[in-house]
Amino acid sequence: MKLWQKNTASLKEVEQFTVGNDREFDLLLAPFDVLGNIAHAKMLATVGLLTNEEVDLLVTELKAIYKTTQTIHDSRFTIHDDVEDVHSQVEFLLTEKLGDIGKKIHSARSRNDQVLVDVKLFLRSEIEKTVVSVQSFFELLIAKSEQFKDHLLPGYTHLQLAMPSSFGLWLGAYAESLVDDTITLKAAYEVVNKNPLGSAAGYGSSFPINRTLTTQLLGFAELNYNVVYAQMGRGKAERIVAMALANVADTLAKLSMDACLYLNQNFGFISFPAELTTGSSIMPHKKNPDVFELIRSKCNQIKALPSEIMLMTTNLPSGYHRDLQLLKEHLFPAFETLRSCIDMAGLMLSNMEVKENILEDEKYKFLFSVEEVNKLVLKGVPFRDAYKQVGLAIEAGEFTYSATVQHTHEGSIGNLCNDKITAIMKNVMSSFDFETYHKAIADLLMQ
| Domain residue limits, the chain | 12-106, 111-143+151-360+417-446, 361-416
DSSP result, 236-277: HHHHHHHHHHHHHHHHHHHHHHHHHHHHSTTT--EE--GGGS
Specify the pTM.
Answer: 0.92
Q: What is the pLDDT of residue 15?
A: 66
DSSP element (H, E) containing 216: helix 211-217
Q: Which CATH architecture has domain 12-106?
A: Orthogonal Bundle (1.10)
Query: In whole angstroms, what is the distance from residue 348 CA to residue 336 CA?
Result: 18
Buried b (16+ CB within 10 A) or exposed e, 422-446: beebeebbeebebeebeebbeebee
Residue 12 backbone dihedrals phi, psi, to 5 degrees: -55, -45
- Provide, for the chain, the percentages of residues in helix, strand and coil under a 3-state DSSP scheme, each rounded to the nearest 5: 65, 5, 30
Q: What is the pLDDT of residue 13?
A: 77
Query: In whole angstroms, what is the distance from residue 107 CA to residue 88 CA?
Result: 14
Q: What is the CA radius of gyration of the chain?
A: 28
- Domains 12-106 and 111-143+151-360+417-446 are alike in CATH topology: no
Q: What is the pLDDT of residue 20?
A: 66
pLDDT in 10s for each residue of the chain, 447 residues: 455 455 555 577 776 776 667 678 889 999 999 999 999 999 999 999 999 999 999 999 999 999 999 875 566 888 888 888 899 999 999 999 999 999 999 999 998 999 999 999 999 999 999 999 999 999 999 999 999 999 999 999 999 999 999 999 999 999 999 999 999 999 999 999 999 999 999 999 999 999 999 999 999 999 999 999 999 999 999 999 999 999 999 999 999 999 999 999 999 999 999 888 876 567 767 788 899 999 999 999 999 999 999 999 999 899 888 888 889 999 999 999 999 999 999 999 999 999 999 999 999 999 999 999 999 999 999 999 999 999 999 999 999 999 989 899 999 999 999 999 999 999 999 999 999 999 999 999 997
CATH of domain 111-143+151-360+417-446: 1.20.200.10
